[in-house]
Structure 1
Amino acid sequence: MTYTGSCHCGGIRFEVDGDLDGAMACNCSICQRKGSLLWFVPRDRLRLLTPEDAAATYTFNRHAIRHRFCATCGIHPFGEGTDPKGQRMAAINVRCLDGVDLDALPVHRFDGRAL
């Protein structure tokens, strides 16, 4: 299935393909503050509909994940990184997807603080 999503102001818009069967809530220092619910997909399944430079980037700690956000409205629609096997991944904030019933989505809790 193809989902569409955006930041609040629409400065970052995207499409993502996949089967959204759950999300992850992480309690690391940034995810806890953002309140995002993450869905991980291969990076090539994420297509930006706005220019790449519309998304600002924040990294911290090991600088392994590029947290992408809108410099205008501040919303974090996705992040980019690699999985343990070295594959490029995107972490989609499902709260930024259009038409998703968040209450019907199973959420897995991940202890990111422990890393």
Structure 2
Amino acid sequence: MPTYQGSCHCGAVTFRIDAEIRELTTCDCSLCRQKNALMTKVHESALTVLGGEDLLSVYEWNTHRAKHFFCSRCGIYIFHRKRAAPDHFGINVFCLEDFDPGSVPVRATEGIGMSVVDPNARRQ
């Protein structure tokens, strides 16, 4: 199994993924579009935060199911817990050391059409 090391821009948050990267994705939701994310999907067991976990900030919006993690020092988006697959993380491949994003196919995913919270919805 391949292993990749990664970090935020300032190096305060470091992590490792143990996964074969076979596909990259973009997303057209407003958040991913604005952060210009290029991601790979890994199971939660494949991600290990090595350092700086206490420096991670979390951004949640809409359903609050997806959790987007940023370095609180440099502001770089590192990874997020996926809304559609909550046992997986989307990893910002631009944070990975020695990984060539041009070596893996990119697939566009649709996030803009995912449901939004209905303020009139009944409680579950």
- Cα-to-partner distance string for 1:21-71 (whole Å, 9 max, x where unaligned): 110000101000111111111111100011422211000000011100011
User: Which sections of structure 2, spanning at least 5 residues, go unmatched?
Assistant: 115-124
Q: Aligned pair count?
A: 113
User: Are 1:40 and 1:90, in contact at CA under 8 Å, matched by a contact in 2?
Assistant: yes
Cα shift at 1:13: 0.4
Cα shift at 1:96: 0.8
Other-structure match for 1:17: 18
TM-score calculated relative to the size of structure 1: 0.91
SS of aligned partner of 1:77: strand
User: Are 1:18 and 1:45, in contact at CA under 8 Å, matched by a contact in 2?
Assistant: yes
User: Equivalent pairs: percent with the same residue?
Assistant: 35
TM-score calculated relative to the size of structure 2: 0.85
Distance 1:103 1:6, change over 3 A: same
Tell me which stretches of 4 or more aligned residues in structure 1 moved more than 3 Å.
81-84
RMSD between aligned residues: 1.4
Other-structure match for 1:88: 87
Tell me, yes or no, if structure 1 residue 32 matches structure 2 residue 45: no
Tell me, yes or no, if structure 1 residue 107 matches structure 2 residue 106: yes
